Structure 1
Amino acid sequence: MQNSLFIKAAFSQKTERPPVWMMRQAGRFMPQYWEIKNKYSFLEMCKTPEIAADVTMLPVDLLDIDAAILFSDILVTAEAMGGDLSFTNGIGPRFSNPVRSLNDVNSLATDVNDKLQYVADAIKVIQQRLNGKIPLIGFAGAPFTVMSYLVEGGSSKDFKLTKLMLHNEPELAHKLLSKIAKVTADYLNLQIDAGVNAVQIFDSWAQALSWDDYTEFSHRYISEIISNLNRKDIPVISFCKGSSVFAPLMAEAKPDVVSIDWNVDLLDIKKRLPQNIAVQGNLDPHILYADKKVIKERIYKLFERMRGENGFIFNLGHGIMPDIPFDNVKYAVEVIKEFKY
């Protein structure tokens, strides 16, 4: 895989064009996804290796992207630790046993790789199907983001309970985050052992944090995770919403790639990072609702801005929204693949 466009760009090597993959590329904007989803629950899809492989392969077969990403969810680690997880259409993930006290934190398990073996099994099935064509990206949720779901009991708009724990009971927060960080490092190493070619850490809710709180309650644990990965020849991507602010700090955790949201000029942020750190991003996903002429203009504008820069992976600043037209996503990939530096 060292000759793949994606791996070369992730290691800041020269490529003839930017490689492309998109967060949530195997998802709800595809009719073929719904054909599968209407037969199984979301967790059944994640936990059945053949089904997870089917969904992972959809954008490979239908979009011809440059990297596949494992179909799973960032909350499988929290479930393995003891969270009672369910998914409800229109509501999202829920934990019926939120973690809010010392007893709750103490009851969470940390040696849980056996409970996550289904992910390793899925990776093996996917790699058989990919047959060396393109790299497979594994991933995990970052400790702060996973913590927020456990403490809130689900999604949140203001993260009030989570922030109360950070501010009123910082020792308890650190104990919880430390447990999640251990599980996350073990889990990513399980994925690497099973055969993924890269890993991404998703800190989806980091933008809820101030600089000081991000430093203490997120960055610290992402640094710990990255330092514990068996990362030889495996690029590590660090993503958070808020990366346009936190990128210089994210780089200190020594990932190979920092994935950037759409609130900043990508070249400007690249110049502020160490030379050996690649950037991934950073098209506003809402552009994919627009006319095809606009989509092409915006992609080419970004590519011209990044011309001459090694270490650039095209992606969105966040995931594809469920109602973005499939044809627009396909067109965007075609435009990218036609481009040459």
Structure 2
Amino acid sequence: MPEYWEIKNKYTFLEMCKTPEIAADVTMLPVDLLGVDAAILFSDILVTAEAMGGDLSFEQGVGPRFSNPVRSHADADKLSVDCVDKLQYVAEAIKVIQQRLDGSIPLIGFAGAPFTILSYLVEGGSSKDFKRTKLLLNNEPELAHKILQKIADVTVDYLNMQIDAGVNALQLFDSWALALSWNDYRDFSHHYNKYILSKIRRTVPVISFCKGSSVFAPMMAEAHPDVISVDWNADLKNIKQALPEGIAVQGNLDPFVLYADKKVIKDKIHQLFERMRGEKGFIFNLGHGIMPDIPFDNVKFAIETVKEFRY
């Protein structure tokens, strides 16, 4: 959105996240310009890692960077778990956003899941192959579990803080779970996601997402989320019908469809709705995040197509 870049060009990314009024401004942009059915808190999954002691920066065209990666027991010992006070700016942003929304639509808060946060801390930033992270899991599993438990405890406090501040739903993002084998996902990801969902106050619905949910959904269900968000690699109806009663699904349009002609966008959305016709507990969404250069008009058209569809 040009309106987003007008703000982005004036501040660093972290300044935007840490200034409640600016975070609220950015949160409201898609609400006001796209007419979406829910607002999503403007923040970043890595704010918990920064609060724990990570020296976080964002480089244009590169992404997040930690100048002090965590790769030893000494590094892990330095990670703070009593750090939710450092994240109060998120609670303040939630309160400002809710004042602006005034009950019109729900606000979704979120946090990064422990494995995904671990991968950034260990790699020192983004990674294509997660080599250092996988070496840690294989060669030093005790150290990996030590770090993951610390992240999980912080995440529980952080999500409870968001609930207290007034979010209407929460989403746990495990963006890089697809890098893991089934057993490693079970031991180093699912175990901690399940712990988090068991410890937070379940007074609002909780959505569980991982890139790889088309594979891991049966295990994800064991953590008892209210919703499982599904990537675009699976048939959504098959996933839904294989899940326990009472767990909704969210998804699962391939975001790259939004680059296509509008006729294609409409056809793909209608195909998904027709496939899910008659299913209870279905939230239309993309199968992962949106790319920055997708035409704004195409996104707006997709949302209008969704709103116009009638079962």
TM-score when normalising by structure 2: 1.00
Q: Does 1:98 align with 2:92?
A: no
Match of 1:297 in 2: 267
Aligned equivalent of 1:308, options 267, 278, 282: 278
Q: Which amino acid aligns with 1:39?
A: K
Q: Which amino acid aligns with 1:270?
A: K
Match of 1:114 in 2: 85
Match of 1:319 in 2: 289
Match of 1:221 in 2: 192
Aligned equivalent of 1:269, options 222, 239, 243: 239
Classify the secondary structure of the residue corresponding to 1:72.
coil
Q: Could you give the per-residue CA deviations for residues 196-242 of structure 1, whole angstroms, max 9, x where no partner exists?
A: 0000000000000000000000000000000011112x100000100
Q: Which amino acid aligns with 1:245?
A: V
Q: Which amino acid aligns with 1:273?
A: L
Aligned equivalent of 2:148, options 156, 177, 181: 177
Q: Which amino acid aligns with 2:41?
A: L
Q: Does 1:287 align with 2:282?
A: no
Listed as ranges, the matches of 1:31-46 within 5 Å are 31-46=2-17
Q: Does 1:257 align with 2:263?
A: no
Match of 1:338 in 2: 308
Q: Distance in 1 between matches of 2:102 and 2:306?
A: 24
Q: Shift of the alpha carbon at 1:31?
A: 1.0
Aligned equivalent of 2:21, options 32, 45, 50: 50
Q: Distance in 1 between matches of 2:165 and 2:202?
A: 13
Q: Distance in 2 between matches of 1:155 and 1:300?
A: 35
Match of 1:10 in 2: none
Classify the secondary structure of the residue corresponding to 1:334.
helix
Classify the secondary structure of the residue corresponding to 1:73.
coil
Match of 2:53 in 1: 82
Q: Could you give the per-residue CA deviations for residues 262-281 of structure 1, whole angstroms, max 9, x where no partner exists?
A: 00100011011011000000
Q: Which amino acid aligns with 2:42?
A: F
Q: How many residues of Structure 1 are paired with residues of Structure 2 in the alignment?
A: 311
Aligned equivalent of 1:151, options 122, 146, 155: 122
Q: Distance in 1 between matches of 2:245 and 2:39?
A: 26
Q: Shift of the alpha carbon at 1:340?
A: 1.4
Q: Does 1:211 align with 2:182?
A: yes
Classify the secondary structure of the residue corresponding to 1:263.
coil
Q: Does 1:123 align with 2:90?
A: no
Q: Distance in 2 between matches of 1:226 and 1:186?
A: 12
Match of 1:17 in 2: none
Q: Shift of the alpha carbon at 1:35?
A: 0.6
Q: Which amino acid aligns with 1:104?
A: D
Q: Which amino acid aligns with 1:191?
A: Q
Provide the identity percentage: 78
TM-score when normalising by structure 1: 0.91
Q: Distance in 1 between matches of 2:75 and 2:290?
A: 35
Q: Shift of the alpha carbon at 1:339?
A: 1.0
Q: Could you give the per-residue CA deviations for residues 51-84 of structure 1, whole angstroms, max 9, x where no partner exists?
A: 0000000010001010000000000000000000
Q: Which amino acid aligns with 1:192?
A: I
Q: Shift of the alpha carbon at 1:148?
A: 0.3
Classify the secondary structure of the residue corresponding to 1:282.
strand
Q: Shift of the alpha carbon at 1:310?
A: 1.0
Classify the secondary structure of the residue corresponding to 1:171.
helix
